[in-house]
Chain A
Amino acid sequence: MEHPRQVTAIGAAMVITSTIIGVGVLPLPRFASEAADAGGPLVTLAGTVPAFVGLWLITALGQRFPEKSIFLYSEDIIGKWPGRLGSALLILFFAALSALTAREFGEVVVTAVLKKTPLEVTVIVMLLLAAISSRNDVVTFSYLHQFYLPFILAPGLLIAVYSLKNAEPLYLLPIWGNEPKAFGEGMLTIASLFQVSFIMSLLIPSMSRPWKAMRAGLSGMAIAAGFYLLIVIATIAVFGPEETKKTLWPTLELARMTSLPANVLERLDAIFLIIWVTAVFTTLLSSYYLTIHAISNLLRLRDHKMFTFFLLPFVFMLSMCIPNVLDLYAIIRLVGKTGLILTVIYPLLLFTTAWIRKRREAS
Chain B
Amino acid sequence: MTLWQRIQQFFLKPSKRPKQAGASEPSRAPSISGDLRQTASAISDLLGDNDDFVSLRFHLFGAYPANLFYFSSLVDADTIHREILKPLMAPLPRADSAPVRVSHLKEMLLRDQLYFSEGEWVTDFSTMIEALMKGYSAILVHGIDAALLLKTRNIDQRAIDQPKTEQVIRGPREAFNERLDTNLALLRYRLPTEKLKVKTMKIGRLTKTKVAVCYLEGVTNPSLVQEVMRRLSKIDIDGVLDSGYLEQFLSDNRWTPFPLLQSTERPDKIAAALLEGRVAIFSDGSPFALIAPVLFSVFYQVVSDYIEKSVVSSFIRLSRFIALVFSLIFPSLYVSIISFNPELIPTEFAVAVAGGRAGVPFPAVIEVLVMEIAMEVLREATIRMPQQVGGALSIVGVLVVGEAAVEAGFASPITVVVIALTTIGSFATPAYDAALALRILRFSLVILAGIFGLYGVMAGLILIANHMLSLKSFGAPYFSPVIPWSAKGAKDSLFRGQLWKLNKRPESYRTLNTTKVGKETRNLVRQEPHNILDPVSYEGRRNNDGTSSPGDRHRGGDGDH
Contact = CB atoms under 8 A, between A and B. Distances in A.
A143 B479 contact: yes
A11 B457 CA distance: 27
Contact of A266 (B343, B454, B465): B343
Interface string A175-213: 000000000000000000000000000000000000000
B432 interface: no
Contacts of B346: 263-266
A136 B470 contact: yes
Interface in B316-353: 340-341, 343-347
Main secondary structure of the interface of B (DSSP, over half): helix
A355 interface: no
Contacts of B11: none
A348 to B, nearest CB: 33
A341 interface: no
A6 B486 CA distance: 13
B479 A266 contact: no
Kindly name the residue among A113, A148, A264 whose own CB sees the greatest number of chain B CB atoms within 10 A. A113
A246 interface: no
A109 B340 CA distance: 13
A318 to B, nearest CB: 21
A140 B455 contact: no
Interface in A96-147: 109, 113-114, 117, 121-122, 125-126, 129, 132-133, 136, 140, 142-144, 146-147
Given A125-B459, A129-B463, A281-B462, A147 B453 contact: no
A140 B470 contact: yes
Interface stretch (A226-234, A269-277, A294-302, A325-333): A269-277
B483 interface: yes
A209 to B, nearest CB: 14
**Number of chain B interface residues as a range:** 20 to 34
A136 B466 CA distance: 9
B427 interface: no
Given A263-B346, A270-B341, A132 B455 contact: no
A274 B458 contact: yes
A278 B466 contact: no
Interface residues of A, number: 35
Interface in B438-462: 452-459, 462
Nearest to A121: B452
A26 B167 CA distance: 50
Contacts of B47: none
A274 B454 contact: yes
A271 B477 CA distance: 30
Interface string A134-166: 001000101110111000000000000000000
Given A146-B483, A146-B485, A266-B345, A113 B453 contact: yes
Given A143-B484, A144-B469, A278 B452 contact: no
Contact of B463 (A8, A132, A265): A132
A355 B346 CA distance: 63
Contacts of B466: 129, 132-133, 136, 144
Interface in A249-289: 263-267, 270-271, 274-275, 277-278, 281
Contacts of B347: 266
Contacts of A274: 454-455, 457-458
Contacts of A146: 483-485
A363 B347 CA distance: 67
A240 B265 CA distance: 64
Nearest to B482: A147
Contact of A114 (B340, B462, B485): B340
Contacts of B456: 125
Contacts of A271: 344
A264 B347 CA distance: 10
B250 to A, nearest CB: 21
A270 B333 CA distance: 13
B465 A147 contact: yes
| Most chain A CB neighbours (cut-off 10 Å) among B343, B456, B462, B484 | B462
A343 to B, nearest CB: 26
B458 A117 contact: no
Nearest to B448: A125
Given A113-B453, A263-B346, A277-B462, A140 B341 contact: no
- The residue in B345, B466, B483, B484 that gathers the most chain A C-beta atoms within 10 A of its C-beta is B466
B459 A265 contact: no
Contacts of A148: 465
A4 to B, nearest CB: 10
A278 to B, nearest CB: 6
A142 B477 CA distance: 12
Interface in B9-30: none
A78 interface: no
A234 B445 CA distance: 35
A10 interface: yes
A122 B453 CA distance: 11
Contacts of B469: 140, 143-144, 147
B351 to A, nearest CB: 12
A6 B476 CA distance: 12
Interface in B344-397: 344-347
Contact of A113 (B455, B463, B479, B484): B455
A198 to B, nearest CB: 22
A117 B466 CA distance: 25
B345 A277 contact: no
Contact of A10 (B340, B454, B485): B485
Given A121-B452, A140-B470, A263-B346, A11 B484 contact: yes
Contacts of A275: 458
Contacts of A140: 469-470
Contacts of A11: 484-485
Given A143-B484, A144-B466, A147-B469, A278 B458 contact: yes
16 contacts: A109-B455, A113-B455, A117-B453, A121-B452, A125-B452, A129-B462, A129-B463, A143-B479, A144-B469, A146-B484, A264-B346, A265-B344, A267-B343, A267-B344, A277-B458, A278-B462
Query: Would you list the 3 A-B pairs with minimal beta carbon distance, nearest first?
Result: A277-B458, A143-B469, A274-B454
Given A122-B452, A146-B483, A275-B458, 13 more contacts: A10-B485, A11-B484, A113-B453, A113-B454, A114-B340, A129-B463, A133-B463, A143-B477, A146-B484, A263-B346, A274-B458, A278-B458, A281-B462
Interface of A: 6, 8, 10-11, 109, 113-114, 117, 121-122, 125-126, 129, 132-133, 136, 140, 142-144, 146-148, 263-267, 270-271, 274-275, 277-278, 281
